[in-house]
């Protein structure tokens, strides 16, 4: 479908407006839609990452530490400019700076999606341990010491069974859930 504005380019923006039970459709190319103020100029992923990681201010961008990855020699500024890391080590080198960025993007720093079947048991066990450790911390903060002791015992059972190379008993797994 051709743009109704310039009649030269392919329409990529399709707007439907309903006023007084009358439906009106408009089909525009990106250029004509921008001219009419219907869409803003698209931001590149690099611009997006740079804005999030630096807080969006020029002063914050200038204060970036000049840390470089020992493996690929990439700097944090280069990551912000390109939006991609140079190697797997960059995640560890820039961890302190990218964790807030990941949290802003995903609202979490913990993976909650699917896990490969071959890694499922170990990942599930680690997740259960983290969850119990959080519950233990909250119980202690609330001064619920009996509950904290029960959670501590669950943690010990799971850790002992893990070290022994066997699955946690159903009893420990049921108490955790």
Number of neighbouring beta carbons within 10 Å of residue 87: 13
Encode pLDDT of 124-162 as tens digits.
788 788 888 889 998 999 899 999 999 999 999 988 887
Confidence class for position 176, pLDDT limits 50, 70, 90: very low
> Helices (DSSP H) in 63-169: which residue ranges?
76-82, 90-93, 95-106, 120-141, 145-163
Encode pLDDT of 24-45 as tens digits.
888 988 888 888 877 655 555 5
Residue 4 has pLDDT above 70, yes or no: yes
Per the prediction, the chain carries an average pLDDT of: 76
pTM of the predicted model, to two decimals?
0.34
Encode pLDDT of 6-23 as tens digits.
999 998 888 888 888 888
Domain positions in the chain = 1-42, 45-106, 117-176
Which residue from 50, 30, 51 is spatially nearest to 42, judged by alpha carbons?
Answer: 30
């Amino acid at each position: 479908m051709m743009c109704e504005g310039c009649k030269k380019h392919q329409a990529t923006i399709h707007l439907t407006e309903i006023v007084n039970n009358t439906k009106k459709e408009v089909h525009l190319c990106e250029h004509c839609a921008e001219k009419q103020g219907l869409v803003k100029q698209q931001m590149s992923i690099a611009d997006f990452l740079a804005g999030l990681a630096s807080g969006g201010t020029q002063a914050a961008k200038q204060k970036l530490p000049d840390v470089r990855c020992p493996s690929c020699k990439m700097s944090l500024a280069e990551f912000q400019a390109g939006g991609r890391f140079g190697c797997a080590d960059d995640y560890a080198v820039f961890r302190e700076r990218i964790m807030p960025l990941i949290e802003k993007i995903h609202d979490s720093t913990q993976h909650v999606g699917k896990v490969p079947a071959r890694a499922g048991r170990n990942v599930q066990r680690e997740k259960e341990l983290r969850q119990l450790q959080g519950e233990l911390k909250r119980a202690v903060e609330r001064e619920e010491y009996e509950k904290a002791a029960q959670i501590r015992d669950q943690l010990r059972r799971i850790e002992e069974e893990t070290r022994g190379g066997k699955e946690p008993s159903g009893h420990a797994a049921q108490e955790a859930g």
